[in-house]
Amino acid sequence: MTSFDSITAQLAAQAIELPSWAFGNSGTRFKVFSTPGTPRTIQEKIADAATVHRHTGLAPTVALHIPWDKVDDYAALRDFAGDHGLALGTVNSNTFQDDAYKFGSLTHTDAAVRQKAIDHHFDCIDIMHATGSRDLKIWLADGTNYPGQGDIRGRQDRLADSLAAIYERIGAEQRLVLEYKFFEPAFYHTDVPDWGTSYAQVSALGDRALVCLDTGHHAPGTNIEFIVAQLLRLGKLGSFDFNSRFYADDDLIVGAADPFQLFRILYEVIRGAGFGPDSPVAFMLDQCHNVEDKIPGQIRSVLNVQEMTARALLVDGTALRAAQDAGDVLGANGILMDAFYTDVRGDLAAWRETRGLPADPMAAYAASGYQAQIAADRAGGQQAGWGA
């Protein structure tokens, strides 16, 4: 098997973007529990994200969601993030909370509603110019609940037109990533339900339009690593929203529900040259922390991604290919499983220390006093955008 020492340069280049909304209170439709110390402003969310980065060295950027993270001066917000050692990352649009979008946004039959949604994306692009962000991420809640409610085909055509108007506006260095999700909030049909639809729509736009794969957005049992392999083959995998799920779009800590699936996904990312500083694939988290503390929740998340990345990098690709070519079914499977079962925690801890990071970021955070400090300093933290 590949040695740990031979993979540290690749591990050192790993960067995982944190979602600003992970630091706010979130919950289910039944209850939102508030957590002491919850940020009241985007600046406080950025300070918390910086704390995750300080403890792990893994999270140099933070994603914004508009209008949840709306401010008057985005250039100043960029400077604020810079002062905290972070850059601002992906800008997420939001066309799922206005009354106007009850029957759709970019797909709506009413041209005025479609234009309102397109204008919102133009605003997001302006924000990206001020923040220095590369990616505009679009997830649409558009869909219908009952057969016959909408013209499924007409909605695809309107979506294509709306996306073309948005794509035309992005800068030469910017990208549009289109996220898919098989259901929720619509329950009969969703306008971008799967990778194939996202691929068809972004392919019609151009080279800087790509697919965003959220690991929680598939039917149970879906082979996600196959989708990863296919999108990388096609040059259309733009980004990940990482999280894990037991049932639906649970938004739990990545790697918590199924570490083996995360390993398999990361193996295909590496196999398909989707990993490394020159890769076009952005790693992001899209998670909520409903009952656990948010900052350690994010620390645990990035560590899980790092741990499974290390194991995936340990796969002996040469031996695996030889076994595959020889038709050695169990030998090939054994080579993959050897890497998956390798406990890299000790090696990672020792390596972190050589880089001036805490060997155990979770313990270091717990001992830092930060949680008690924010609980004392911040009163009345907000829900993560949903109520904003």
Q: Which does 267 bind (CB under 5 to 8 A by kind): Mn ion, ligand PSV, none?
A: none
| CA dist., res. 315 & res. 172, Å (int) | 37
48 binds, among ligand PSV, Mn ion, none (CB under 5 to 8 A by kind): none
Query: In the 8-state DSSP scheme, what is residue 4?
Result: G
> Residue 94 Cβ, how far from ligand PSV at the closest point, in Å?
7
Contact 384, 19 (CB under 8 A): no
Q: Which residues bind Mn ion (CB under 5 A)?
A: 214, 241, 249, 286
Residue closer to Mn ion by CB (options 48, 249) is: 249
Dihedral (Cα; 30, 95, 43, 15), 10-degree rounding: 100
Question: Strands, E, within the chain: which ranges?
Answer: 18-19, 61-65, 87-92, 135-138, 143-144, 175-179, 189-190, 209-214, 237-242, 282-285
Shortest approach of ligand PSV to residue 135 CB, angstroms? Answer: 12
Which of residues 49 and 254 has its CB atom nearest to Mn ion in the complex? 254
Binding site for ligand PSV (CB under 6 A): 21, 92, 139, 179, 181, 214, 241, 249, 286
* Residue 92 partner contact from ligand PSV, Mn ion, none using kind-dependent CB cut-offs of 5 to 8 Å: ligand PSV
**Which residue, 241 or 268, is less far from Mn ion as judged by CB?**
241
Q: With CB cut-offs between 5 and 8 Å by kind, which of ligand PSV, Mn ion, none does residue 307 bind?
A: none
Q: Strand pairing partners for 179?
A: 212
Q: Which is nearer to ligand PSV, 256 or 320 (CB)?
A: 256
Nearest approach, Cβ of residue 184 and Mn ion (Å): 8
Q: Which does 135 bind (CB under 5 to 8 A by kind): ligand PSV, Mn ion, none?
A: none
Q: Is 3 helix (H, G, I), strand (E, B) or coil?
A: coil
What are the structure tokens assigned to 236, written together?
Answer: 């259309």
Inter-helix orientation angle 294-313/259-271, to 10°:
50
Least CB distance to Mn ion at residue 247 (A): 13
Cα–Cα distance, 192 to 367 (Å, whole number) = 44
Residue nearest to ligand PSV (CB): 139
Q: Is 168 exposed, middle or buried, given 0-12, 13-18 or 19+ CB atoms closer than 10 A? A: exposed
Nearer to ligand PSV, 34 or 333 (CB): 34
What count of Cα atoms within 13 Å lies in the side-chain half-sphere of residue 15?
A: 18
Q: How far is the CB of 165 from Mn ion (least distance, A)?
A: 23
195 contacts which partner out of Mn ion, ligand PSV, none, CB within 5 to 8 A by kind? none
Cross-strand bridge partners of residue 135: 175
Cβ 214 to Mn ion shortest distance, Å: 4
Least distance in Å: CB of 124 to Mn ion? 16
Cα separation, 70 vs 97, whole angstroms: 15
> What is the residue-wise DSSP string for 158-203?
HHHHHHHHHHHHS-TT-EEEEE--SSSS-SSEESS-SHHHHHHHHH
Report the nearest approach of ligand PSV to the CB of residue 142 (Å): 12
